[in-house]
Structure 1
Amino acid sequence: MNVPLTTEILKDLKHKGYNILKSDNSVDDVIQHFVPTTVNDLWAFQNSENCVSLKKKYSIEEACCRFESG
């Protein structure tokens, strides 16, 4: 099910313990799909091979800030 991402959804995901939005989309994909995920060490995860430069990765906190700043 595709649901438009809102600040309320991000806050709910954060409250449920998720801290990463993962995507296997290409940067050229028009429709973006993200999967909420929980990792123990956020910074180690972002520096790992799980996150190649062409894949999008946002912490829930960063995504909330992006929404709130417009």
Structure 2
Amino acid sequence: MSNRLTQNREHLSGAGHLKPAKGSRLEARAEAQSVGRRQAVCRCEIYSIEGAQKILCALGQGTIVAVGK
């Protein structure tokens, strides 16, 4: 991450592990929940996939806020 970005942005995030990631593959889905002029809130879900079974195993959410010019 460049100095310019770290000087102009504040990043807050959190992640939670719900279940062990057991399966033959993982799938991640991310979406911007809210985007404005000064901040954006994004959410990510991680799924463990085994055959036709898809299990939510982790969640993450982050907020980035502009704090200067």
Which bin holds the TM-score, normalised by the shorter protein?
Answer: under 0.3
TM-score for the superposition, normalised by structure 2: 0.23
> Which has the greater radius of gyration?
2
More strand by share: 2
TM-score scaled by length of structure 1:
0.23
Normalized per residue, the structure richer in helix is 1
